Amino acid sequence: MIQARPTHTNPPCTKENAVLYASAGAETPLHCLGHRTVTDDTLFDSLNAAYAQAMFEEYARNPEALSPEWCKLFENGGSLAMAEGLFVPEQMDTGRPLDEPVAAPAPPVAQTWAATTAPAPADLPAALPPKPLTPVAALIPSQLDSDSQALLRLLPAVSRAAALIQAFRDHGHRLAAVDPLGSEPPGHPQLSPAFFGTSQEELGALPASLVLTENGDHGDRSVADALKDLGEVYAGSIGYEFEHLDDHVTVNWLWQQVEAGSHLPELTASDRRALLQRISETEGLEQFLHRTYLGQKRFSIEGNDMLVPMLDLLIEEVGRSGGHDVVLGMAHRGRLNVLTHTLGLSYGELLSEFEGPSFKGGQLDVAGTGDVKYHHGARGTRRVNGADVRVTLAPNPSHLEFVNPVVIGMARALQFENLDEGAEPDFDSVVPVLMHGDAAFAAEGVVAETLNMARLHGYNVGGTIHVIVNNQVGFTTDPRDGRSTHYSSDLAKGYGIPIIHVNADDPEACLGAIRLAMAFRREFHDDFVIDLVGYRRHGHNEGDEPAYTQPVKYRKITAHQTVQELYSARLIDEGAINDAQVADMRAAIIDQLREVQDNVRKSDPVVDDEPDEKQEVPVVPESTGVALEVLERINKATVDLPDSFTPHPKLWRQLGRRESDFSPNRTIDWGYAETLAFGSLLLEDIPIRFTGQDVQRGTFSHRHVVLHDSKNGDEFVPLAAMAGARLEVHNSPLSETAVIGFEYGYSVAADNDVVLWEAQFGDFVNVAQVMIDQFLSSGLTKWGQYSRLTLLLPHGHEGQGPEHSSARLERFLQLCAEDNMRVTYPTTPAQYFHMLRRQALRRPERPMIVMTPKSLLRHPKATSTMSELTEGGFKHVLDDPTTESLDQITRLVLCSGKVYYDIQGHSRRAGLPHVAVARVELLYPFPTEALTALLGRFPNLKEVVWAQEEPRNMGGLTFVGPRLRAVVPRKIPLAYAARPERASPAEGRASNHAAAQEAVILEALGIEAEDAE
Ligand SMILES: Cc1ncc(C[n+]2csc(CCOP(=O)(O)OP(=O)(O)O)c2C)c(N)n1
Ligand SMILES: [Mg+2]
Q: Tell the burial category of 915 from Cβ atoms under 10 Å away from its Cβ (0-12, 13-18, 19+).
A: buried
CA dist., res. 178 & res. 187, Å (int): 12
Q: What pLDDT sits at residue 129?
A: 37
Q: How far is the CA of 182 from the centre of ligand 1 (A)?
A: 24
Task: Give tens-digit pLDDT for 362-409.
Answer: 333 333 456 776 678 899 999 999 999 999 999 999 999 999 999 999
Span 412-422, average pLDDT:
92
Task: Say which ligand is closest to the CA of 445.
Answer: 1
- Point out the ligand 1 atom lying closest to the alpha carbon of residue 402: 1
Residue nearest atom 26 in ligand 1 by C-alpha distance: 399
Q: Is the pLDDT of residue 825 over 70?
A: yes
Q: How far is the CA of 538 from the centre of ligand 1 (A)?
A: 15
Q: How far is the CA of 487 from the centre of ligand 2 (A)?
A: 12
Q: Is the pLDDT of residue 127 over 50?
A: no
Q: How far is the CA of 401 from the centre of ligand 1 (A)?
A: 9
Q: How far is the CA of 444 from the centre of ligand 2 (A)?
A: 13
Q: How far is the CA of 775 from the centre of ligand 1 (A)?
A: 18
- How many DSSP H helices and E strands does the chain contain? 39, 24
Q: Is the pLDDT of residue 519 over 70?
A: yes
Give percent of the chain above pLDDT 90.
74
Residue nearest atom 10 in ligand 1 by C-alpha distance: 475
Do the beta carbons of residue 743 and residue 691 sit within 8 Å?
A: yes
Cα 404 to chain centroid distance, Å, stands at 6
Q: How far is the CA of 558 from the centre of ligand 1 (A)?
A: 22
- Point out the ligand 1 atom lying closest to the alpha carbon of residue 444: 1
- Point out the ligand 1 atom lying closest to the alpha carbon of residue 333: 21
CA dist., res. 956 & res. 1004, Å (int): 15
Handedness of CA 587, 592, 596, 598 (dihedral sign): positive
Residue nearest atom 20 in ligand 1 by C-alpha distance: 474
- Point out the ligand 1 atom lying closest to the alpha carbon of residue 401: 1
Residue nearest atom 15 in ligand 1 by C-alpha distance: 437
First to last CA, the chain: 90
CB within 8 Å of 407: residues ≥ 6 apart? 327, 328, 329, 394, 432, 434, 745
Task: Say which ligand is closest to the CA of 372.
Answer: 1
Distances in Å between the Cα of 399 and the Cα atoms of 171, 577, 755, 848 are 34, 43, 24, 23
Task: Give tens-digit pLDDT for 69-120.
Answer: 555 555 544 444 344 343 222 222 323 333 333 232 233 322 222 222 333 3
Q: What pLDDT sits at residue 296?
A: 85
- Point out the ligand 1 atom lying closest to the alpha carbon of residue 440: 15
Handedness of CA 338, 342, 344, 347 (dihedral sign): positive
| 104-113, 170-179, 873-882: least confident range | 104-113
Q: What pLDDT sits at residue 16?
A: 34
Task: Give tens-digit pLDDT for 632-659.
Answer: 999 999 999 999 999 999 999 989 888 8
Q: What pLDDT sits at residue 285?
A: 97
Walk across the sheet containing 943-951 and list its strands.
Answer: 877-878, 915-920, 891-895, 943-951, 974-979
Q: What is the CA radius of gyration of the chain?
A: 35
Q: Which amino acid is at 49?
A: A
- Point out the ligand 1 atom lying closest to the alpha carbon of residue 400: 26
Does residue 189 have a cis peptide bond before it, meaning omega lies within 30 degrees of 0?
no
Other CB atoms closer than 10 Å to residue 403's CB: what's the count? 29
> Considering the chain, what is the average pLDDT of its residues?
86
HEC-encoded secondary structure of 20-57: HHHHCCCCHHHHHCCCCCCCCCHHHHCCCHHHHHHHHH
Q: How far is the CA of 442 from the centre of ligand 2 (A)?
A: 10
Residue nearest atom 22 in ligand 1 by C-alpha distance: 475
- Point out the ligand 1 atom lying closest to the alpha carbon of residue 770: 1
Ligand 1: residue of 475, 478, 533 to mutate (most ligand atoms within 8 A of CB) is 475
With cut-offs at 50, 70 and 90, classify the pLDDT of residue 616.
Answer: low
Task: Give tens-digit pLDDT for 11-63.
Answer: 332 333 322 222 223 332 222 222 322 233 333 333 344 555 555 556 555 66
Q: Is the pLDDT of residue 488 over 70?
A: yes
CA dist., res. 309 & res. 765, Å (int): 40
Q: How far is the CA of 430 from the centre of ligand 2 (A)?
A: 28
CA dist., res. 355 & res. 597, Å (int): 8
- Point out the ligand 1 atom lying closest to the alpha carbon of residue 475: 11
Task: Tell me the three state secondary structure of residue 387.
Answer: strand
Residue nearest atom 13 in ligand 1 by C-alpha distance: 474
Task: Say which ligand is closest to the CA of 439.
Answer: 1
Ligand 1 site, CB within 6 A: 333, 398-400, 437-440, 469, 471, 473-475, 536, 540
Q: How far is the CA of 347 from the centre of ligand 2 (A)?
A: 26
Task: Say which ligand is closest to the CA of 483.
Answer: 1
Q: What pLDDT sits at residue 150?
A: 75
Does residue 925 have a cis peptide bond before it, meaning omega lies within 30 degrees of 0?
yes
Task: Say which ligand is closest to the CA of 396.
Answer: 1
Other CB atoms closer than 10 Å to residue 120's CB: what's the count? 20
Q: What pLDDT sits at residue 220?
A: 86
Strand 943-951 relative to strand 974-979: parallel, antiparallel, unpaired? parallel
- Point out the ligand 1 atom lying closest to the alpha carbon of residue 334: 21
- Point out the ligand 1 atom lying closest to the alpha carbon of residue 469: 21
CB within 8 Å of 432: residues ≥ 6 apart? 326, 327, 328, 329, 407, 408, 410, 411, 461, 464, 465
Ligand 1: residue of 299, 302, 399, 400 to mutate (most ligand atoms within 8 A of CB) is 400
Q: What pLDDT sits at residue 355?
A: 84
In this prediction the pTM is 0.86
Residue nearest atom 17 in ligand 1 by C-alpha distance: 437
Q: In this structure, what DSSP letter does residue 207 have?
A: B
Q: How far is the CA of 240 from the centre of ligand 2 (A)?
A: 21
Q: How far is the CA of 471 from the centre of ligand 2 (A)?
A: 5
Q: Is the pLDDT of residue 603 over 90?
A: no
Task: Say which ligand is closest to the CA of 471.
Answer: 2
Q: How far is the CA of 780 from the centre of ligand 1 (A)?
A: 24
Task: Give tens-digit pLDDT for 185-238.
Answer: 999 999 999 999 999 999 999 999 888 876 667 788 999 999 998 888 988 999
Other CB atoms closer than 10 Å to residue 792's CB: what's the count? 24
Q: In this structure, what DSSP letter does residue 78 have?
A: I
Span 732-738, average pLDDT:
97
Q: What pLDDT sits at residue 211?
A: 87
Do the beta carbons of residue 605 and residue 365 sit within 8 Å?
A: yes
Strand 754-758 relative to strand 922-924: parallel, antiparallel, unpaired? unpaired
Q: What pLDDT sits at residue 879?
A: 98
Residue 138, φ and ψ in degrees, nearest 5? -65, -20
With cut-offs at 50, 70 and 90, classify the pLDDT of residue 65.
Answer: low
- Point out the ligand 1 atom lying closest to the alpha carbon of residue 437: 15
Cα 546 to chain centroid distance, Å, stands at 32
